[in-house]
Chains A and B, each alone.
Chain A
Amino acid sequence: MSQDINITIIDREGVSHEVEAPTDMAMNLMEVVRSYELAPEGTIGVCGGMAMCASCQCYVLSEHELPEMQDEEEAMLAEAFYVKDSSRLGCQIQMTQELEGLKVELAPES
């Protein structure tokens, strides 16, 4: 069975990217965005993935059931900008087989 899933990431310029994300490397969505360089370095994952900065905020456009928000993520999104009902922090979304076909859009830099 393939360890990779296909996901769609719309960057901050509105360009859609279909990318393969490994599910066997403990990667989260923010790290996938960084590995494909879909956002300038220094503008995403600033805190290293500790739900401390909201630089990896994204809007979930597909109907996937995502892992439940933990307190840190919810607290961060309560204070972040450009937040919508569909907002999540990319660093808190681990790549798993269940996320095949996931579609997200990166929130504006703030």
Chain B
Amino acid sequence: MIKTDILIIGAGPTGLFTVFEAGLLKLKCHLIDALPQPGGQCSEIYPKKPIYDIPAYPEILAGDLTEKLLEQGKQFEPGFTLGERAETIEKLEDGSFIVTTNKGTKHHAPVVAIAGGLGSFEPRKPLIHNIANFEDKGVEYMIKDPEVYRNKRVVIAGGGDSALDWSIFLSDVASEVTLIHRRNEFRGALDSVEKVQELKNKGKINLITPAEVVGILGDDHVAGVVVTKADHIPTEFEIECDHFIPLFGLSPKLGPIADWGLEIEKNAIKVDNSLDYQTNIPGIFAIGDVNTYPGKLKLILCGFHEATLMCQAAYQIINPGKRYVLKYTTVSGIDGFDGTRKEAPKAVVKSID
């Protein structure tokens, strides 16, 4: 069981800055993120894009901002659970929380700060009326273990890199691979497109374009798919298969957090912005792009401000009755949890003989 003072869900800019602000108050943080590295969208989606509205940085690349935030919080020794998604939360009698990830890692903290940004990126599901009935029964939105498909008949749908790459890979594993795409053109790396063409010519991949999967056949497991092909005269036909893998990219969703009993409005978590960004559940805060309140602006700098105020409230929960006086780092310096100390050099006063 991982224990900490503030458990932060989301390791984007707001979550990372929380580490620093909490550290000033002698509070330790641990961060959970579904992505394999810290930085959230900044490192995953647009690390090379410049950001122009970070105070004191006329221009900074999103990836560099992540690096600087990590450096700023380093002396407060945050813990990270990366590549895992916060799945469930349990409130204990003493008011503290246990958050468990999809991989079963348990975290215990008196305060939870949700800094989940747009949420977790989940597979975009095609609009097939009965697809939900076959999830994990032959329909998989992502490939975890390619061996599952050994000597099986697989239908892949999609037109991006994932669909191309997996079609190529599974052509050596599955007994039959069919790739279906709505358009004739694929939007993937050129060498992947050429490789699929080559495998199609060799008869190792069955390519059907422009076409769409519109139905799934089977009782308690996928037995086939219904396909419409958009020719001059549209045709509809069935393909027998054991697995259907739709690969239509990812879409940001609030994810399991939406089922935690929090008040949700406009796909975001409602908070009390007049005070401390606490949610309707005492001890759980929401900061950054994931929250909503009157006048909310989804800006990184607003996330920093929200994190700062949230930490003050967290301090009161963790240290009830204890007085705290706001300090300026210029005056008090910073004492890291790693034993380091940063402070302005002291002026030396010497008399002249």
Name A's B-contacting residues (CB within 8 A).
Answer: 40-43, 46-48, 50, 52-53, 71, 74-76, 78-81, 83, 110
Over the window 153-181 of chain B, the binary record of Cβ atoms lying under 8 Å from chain A Cβ atoms (1 yes, 0 no) is: 00000111000000000000000000001
Residues of B within 8 A of A47 (CB): 118, 252
Residues of B within 8 A of A50 (CB): 45-46
Q: Given A41, A42, A75, A79, which contacts B124 in the complex, CB threshold below 8 Å?
A: A79
**Minimum CB–CB distance for A70 against chain B, Å:** 12
**Minimum CB–CB distance for B51 against chain A, Å:** 12
**Minimum CB–CB distance for A42 against chain B, Å:** 4
- Bound Cα distance A47, B253 (Å): 10
**CB of B130 within 8 A of chain A?**
no
New A-B contacts (13) at CB < 8 Å, excluding given A78-B159, A79-B160: A40-B266, A41-B266, A43-B267, A46-B252, A52-B45, A74-B187, A75-B160, A75-B187, A76-B249, A78-B186, A78-B187, A79-B158, A80-B248
- Is A46 within 8 A of B118, CB to CB? yes
Residues of A within 8 A of B124 (CB): 79, 81
- Bound Cα distance A55, B204 (Å): 36
**Minimum CB–CB distance for A52 against chain B, Å:** 7
**Minimum CB–CB distance for B93 against chain A, Å:** 35
**Minimum CB–CB distance for B10 against chain A, Å:** 16
The SS class assigned to the B binding surface is: loop
- Is A83 within 8 A of B182, CB to CB? yes
- Is B252 within 8 A of A79, CB to CB? no
- Is A79 within 8 A of B248, CB to CB? yes
The SS class assigned to the A binding surface is: loop
- Is A53 within 8 A of B251, CB to CB? yes
Name B's A-contacting residues (CB within 8 A).
Answer: 45-46, 118, 124, 126-127, 158-160, 181-183, 185-187, 248-249, 251-252, 266-268, 298
**Minimum CB–CB distance for B172 against chain A, Å:** 25
Nearest to B266 among chain A residues (CB) is A42
Residues of B within 8 A of A46 (CB): 118, 251-252, 267
Residues of A within 8 A of B267 (CB): 42-43, 46
Residues of A within 8 A of B252 (CB): 46-47, 52-53
- Bound Cα distance A48, B126 (Å): 23
**Minimum CB–CB distance for A39 against chain B, Å:** 11
Known: A42-B267, A50-B46, A75-B187. A81 touches B158 (CB 8 A): no
- A and B contact pairs by CB, cutoff 8 A, 18 listed: A41-B266, A42-B267, A46-B267, A47-B118, A48-B298, A50-B46, A52-B252, A53-B251, A53-B252, A75-B187, A76-B249, A78-B160, A78-B181, A78-B182, A78-B183, A81-B124, A81-B127, A83-B182
Residues of A within 8 A of B268 (CB): 42
**Minimum CB–CB distance for B120 against chain A, Å:** 13
**Minimum CB–CB distance for B179 against chain A, Å:** 13
- Is B248 within 8 A of A110, CB to CB? no
- Bound Cα distance A83, B159 (Å): 13
- Bound Cα distance A40, B127 (Å): 21
- Is A110 within 8 A of B127, CB to CB? yes
Rank and list the top 5 A-B pairs by shortest CB-CB distance, nearest first: A42-B267, A42-B266, A79-B249, A41-B266, A78-B159
- Bound Cα distance A40, B292 (Å): 14
Residues of B within 8 A of A110 (CB): 127
Known: A46-B118, A46-B267, A110-B127. A79 touches B159 (CB 8 A): yes
- Bound Cα distance A41, B160 (Å): 29
Residues of A within 8 A of B159 (CB): 78-79
Residues of B within 8 A of A76 (CB): 249
Residues of B within 8 A of A71 (CB): 187
Residues of B within 8 A of A42 (CB): 266-268
